[in-house]
Amino acid sequence: MAKPLIGITTNQFLTEGGIMAGTKRQFVSDAYIQAVFSAGGVPVLLPIIVEQAVIVEQLAVVDGLLLSGGGDIQPQLFGEEPVRELGKVLPERDMHELELVRLALASGKPVLGICRGCQLLNVALGGSVTQHLAEATLQHDQQSPGDYAGHNVVLEKGSRLAGLWGNTVMTNSFHHQAINKAAPGLRITARAKDGVVEAVEHETAAFGVGVQWHPELMITKYPAMLKLFTAFVNTAYRK
């Protein structure tokens, strides 16, 4: 059986210093690539392009979709005006990823959303995001390195994630936003102890999971985090 191709969505930035200053670049953190590779998949980067016909072809060549982390989603996409604390938004990326999610779910391909990707999956299906976690009592924007597990997450009994890790799992935390209202068809299956939503699972898709933390940064120190990627990649195997 051929290894499944896993599309990873990309981010964008302007190069600041050096002779290429001002050049727009698209990129993704190496940790996502290594996590997919370690789980048995073939990572394929999906650059941000907002032409429908091209997005259709991008999705057609991959067997699974990984929505990577990044900046904030435009609040207008879930019917809100921006609050003062909203970070930088990238409308082209929002449009690209919303279309990829729609196509992936329509064609039965597995979707894994990480951090922003978890929120994006929720917005794509009609849910909303808390634009800034002003009320959260725990530290969700940790200052420690990515492989440091800062807070506990309680997993819903019987969920896919509980099947991987049991009742609780320690996670890192690099977010100032989180899912507010879960979309129809998505079940909240994990929360931090202050109530902040940390994961959702699609109720009917073969695999539709979003996690608010960054498991890809934890794999070396916490090998159990690889289980999420393995479950995802295994669902993507081509018949």
Residue 214 among the catalytic residues: yes
CB of 60 to Mn ion, least distance (A): 34
- Using the Cα atoms of residue 128, residue 174, residue 11 and residue 88 in order, give the sign of their dihedral: positive
Query: Minimum distance between the CB of residue 83 and Mn ion, rounded to whole angstroms?
Result: 19
Per the annotation, the verdict on 203 as an active-site residue is: no
Task: Select 140 or 202, whichever has its Cβ closest to Mn ion.
Answer: 140
State the nearest-atom distance from the C-beta of 198 to Mn ion, in Å: 6
> Of 128 and 173, which CB lies nearer to Mn ion in the complex structure?
173
Residue nearest to Mn ion (CB): 173
Q: Are 144 and 201 in contact (CB under 8 A)?
A: no
Active-site hit among 96, 151, 175, 214: 214
Which residues contact Mn ion (rule: CB under 5 A)? 140, 173
Question: Could you say which of 96, 97, 99, 115 is catalytic?
Answer: 115
Residues assigned a catalytic role: 115, 214, 216
